[in-house]
Structure 1
Amino acid sequence: MYIQQLYTNCLSEAAYYIESDGEVAIIDPLRDVEAYLNLAAERKASIKYIFETHFHADFISGHLDLSKITGAPIIYGPGTQTAFPVTVARDGQQFQLGKLTIEVMHTPGHTLESSCYLLRDEKGAPHAVFTGDTLFVGDVGRPDLFSGSLSKEELAGLLYDSLHLKLATLPDQVLVYPAHGPGSSCGKNLGPQTFSTIGEQKASNYALKQQDKEGFIKAVTDGLSAPPQYFPINARINKEGYTELDKVMEKGMQPISVASLKELLGKDGIVLLDTRPSHVFTEGFIPSAISIGLEGRFAEWAGSLLPFNQPIVLVTEEGKEKESLIRLTRVGFENVIGYLEGGYEAWRKAGEAFDLVIDVEADELAMDLPHDDKLLLLDVRKPAEFGDGHIVGAVNIPLAEMNDPASLSTIDEEHNVYVHCAGGYRSVIAASLLKRQGFHNLRNIVGGWNAIKEQKGIPVEKEGAVLN
Structure 2
Amino acid sequence: MKVEQIYTGCLAQGAYYIESKGEAVIIDPLRETEPYIEKLESEGVKLKYIFETHFHADFVSGHLDLAKKTGATIVYGPMAETSYDIYSAKDGEELQVGDVTFKVLHTPGHTMESSVFLLKDAEGKDYAMFSGDTLFLGDVGRPDLAIKQGAVTKEDLAGYLFDSLREKVMPLADDVIVYPAHGAGSACGKNLSKETWGYLGEQKKTNYALRADMTKEEFVKEVTAGLAPPPQYFAKNAMMNKAGYGSFDDILERGAVALSPEKFEEIVETREALMLDTRTPAEFAEAHIPNSINIGIKGSFAPWVGALITDIEQPIVIIAEKGMAEEVVTRLARVGYDNTLGYLKDGIDAWKKSGKEVDQIESITPAEFADRWNSGKVDELIDARKPTEFLAHHVEGATNFPLDYINKNMSSLSKDKTYYIHCAGGYRSMIMSSILQARGIRNIVDVQQGFKGIEENGHIALTDYKCPTSMSQEELDELVASVS
Q: What is the TM-score with the length of structure 2 in the denominator?
A: 0.93
CA distance, structure 1, for counterparts of residue 288 and residue 272 of structure 2: 19
Larger displacement relative to structure 2 (255-264 or 115-124): 255-264
Instruction: Say whether the 8 Å CA contact 2:372–2:378 is kept in structure 1.
Output: no
> 2:135 is aligned with what amino acid?
L
- Pairing 1:55-70 to 2, within 5 Å after superposition: 55-70=55-70
Q: What is aligned with 2:5? A: 5
In the TM superposition, residue 317 of structure 1 has moved relative to its aligned partner by 0.7
CA distance, structure 2, for counterparts of residue 167 and residue 89 of structure 1: 18
Q: What is aligned with 2:356? A: 352
Larger displacement relative to structure 2 (395-404 or 192-201): 395-404
In the TM superposition, residue 269 of structure 1 has moved relative to its aligned partner by 2.7
Offset from partner CA, 1:154-201 (integer Å, 9 cap, x none): 111110111111100001101100000111100001011001111111
> 2:99 is aligned with what amino acid?
K
Instruction: Say whether the 8 Å CA contact 2:110–2:146 is kept in structure 1.
Output: no
Q: Within the alignment, does 1:290 sit opposite 2:328 as a pair?
A: no
CA distance, structure 1, for counterparts of residue 466 and residue 41 of structure 2: 59
Q: What is aligned with 1:192? A: 194
> 2:218 is aligned with what amino acid?
G
CA distance, structure 1, for counterparts of residue 110 and residue 272 of structure 2: 36
CA distance, structure 2, for counterparts of residue 42 and residue 277 of structure 1: 36
CA distance, structure 1, for counterparts of residue 189 and residue 220 of structure 2: 14
Q: What is aligned with 2:392? A: 388
For residue 222 of structure 1, the aligned residue among 225, 239, 259 is 225
In the TM superposition, residue 395 of structure 1 has moved relative to its aligned partner by 1.5
CA distance, structure 2, for counterparts of residue 268 and residue 69 of structure 1: 33
- Pairing 1:5-84 to 2, within 5 Å after superposition: 5-84=5-84
- Percent of aligned positions with the same letter in both sequences? 47
CA distance, structure 2, for counterparts of residue 147 and residue 86 of structure 1: 23
Q: What is the TM-score with the length of structure 1 in the denominator?
A: 0.97
SS in 1 for 2:210: coil
For residue 344 of structure 2, the aligned residue among 331, 340, 344 is 340
- Pairing 1:117-156 to 2, within 5 Å after superposition: 117-148=117-148, 149-156=151-158
In the TM superposition, residue 403 of structure 1 has moved relative to its aligned partner by 2.3
Instruction: Say whether the 8 Å CA contact 1:374–1:415 is kept in structure 2.
Output: no
For residue 278 of structure 2, the aligned residue among 268, 275, 280 is 275
Offset from partner CA, 1:53-72 (integer Å, 9 cap, x none): 00000000000000000000
Residues 372 and 411 of structure 1: CA distance in aligned 2, closer, same or farther (over 3 Å): farther
Instruction: Say whether the 8 Å CA contact 2:203–2:210 is kept in structure 1.
Output: yes
Q: Within the alignment, does 1:203 sit opposite 2:205 as a pair?
A: yes
CA distance, structure 2, for counterparts of residue 437 and residue 372 of structure 1: 27
Instruction: Say whether the 8 Å CA contact 1:14–1:179 is kept in structure 2.
Output: yes
CA distance, structure 2, for counterparts of residue 81 and residue 188 of structure 1: 28
Offset from partner CA, 1:119-166 (integer Å, 9 cap, x none): 011111101010000000010000000243311111111101111111
Q: Within the alignment, does 1:450 sit opposite 2:452 as a pair?
A: yes
Unaligned stretches of 5+ residues in structure 1 = none
For residue 264 of structure 1, the aligned residue among 264, 267, 284 is 267
Unaligned stretches of 5+ residues in structure 2 = 468-484
Instruction: Say whether the 8 Å CA contact 1:31–1:329 is kept in structure 2.
Output: yes
> 2:413 is aligned with what amino acid?
I
In the TM superposition, residue 95 of structure 1 has moved relative to its aligned partner by 0.6
CA distance, structure 1, for counterparts of residue 412 and residue 400 of structure 2: 10
In the TM superposition, residue 43 of structure 1 has moved relative to its aligned partner by 1.2
- For these two proteins, the number of residue pairs brought into alignment is 464
For residue 301 of structure 1, the aligned residue among 301, 304, 311 is 304
> 1:77 is aligned with what amino acid?
G
For residue 315 of structure 1, the aligned residue among 308, 314, 319 is 319
CA distance, structure 1, for counterparts of residue 374 and residue 425 of structure 2: 24
In the TM superposition, residue 379 of structure 1 has moved relative to its aligned partner by 0.8
Instruction: Say whether the 8 Å CA contact 1:318–1:343 is kept in structure 2.
Output: yes
Instruction: Say whether the 8 Å CA contact 2:278–2:297 is kept in structure 1.
Output: yes
Superposition RMSD on alpha carbons, in Å?
Answer: 1.5
CA distance, structure 1, for counterparts of residue 300 and residue 466 of structure 2: 31
Q: What is aligned with 2:477? A: none
For residue 247 of structure 1, the aligned residue among 234, 241, 250 is 250
Instruction: Say whether the 8 Å CA contact 1:49–1:75 is kept in structure 2.
Output: yes
